[in-house]
Every structure is written in structure tokens, then in C-alpha cells.
Amino acid sequence: MRPPALQAGMFITVEPGCYFIDYLLDAALADTEGRAAFINADVLARFRGTGGVRIEDDVLVTADGCENFTHVPRTVAEIEAVMAGTISQRSELAKHH
């Protein structure tokens, strides 16, 4: 069955994420004839313990594309500005996109 097509006026949430779940990573690393070949253990070690990250976007589907209603810091510069108190309003983030 084919999913319904997106139509102008629909709001959707896009939820990309990258998660570092130890028991799943350990199982993948133990699979020496499969998944382990695709894992760089040195890079993985830097991210273990972080849990992961997901930034959800609330998006309005329009006739010619979409409009993203989520304004969160995304770049290193924006995150550092929020942490330093330079950016304190969502409207200030919108200026950066």
C-alpha cells in the first residue's frame, strides 16, 4: 500500500536522529563478519556516552515546497551565541537562516 502524498496545508514533524546506544553498538562491534566492518571504533569512542541528538522540525507543506517553523540553533556559531547569551530570542535565530 502506498502512503498518502503530502499536500499543501499539511503540517508534519521531521525527526532525524543519531543515537549512541551502548548495547546496540556493542552487538554491532561483535559482529566481526558484518556490521563491525562499517564502524570506525575511534570515531565511535568520541561519541559514546552522549546518548545522541535529534532536532525535530515542524514543517508546513506548501504548493511549491515547504516552510520550516522550527527555529533552533544549528550551527556551532549559533549554539555558542546562545550559550554566551548573545542570542536569547527565537526571532534572533530566524535571522540566521
Q: Per-residue pLDDT for 90 more than 80?
A: no
Q: What is the pLDDT of residue 34?
A: 83
| pTM summary value | 0.55
Q: Per-residue pLDDT for 19 more than 80?
A: yes
Any idea what the Cα angle at residue 62 is, between residues 56 and 97, rounded to 5°?
Answer: 50
- Over range 28-54, report the average pLDDT: 85
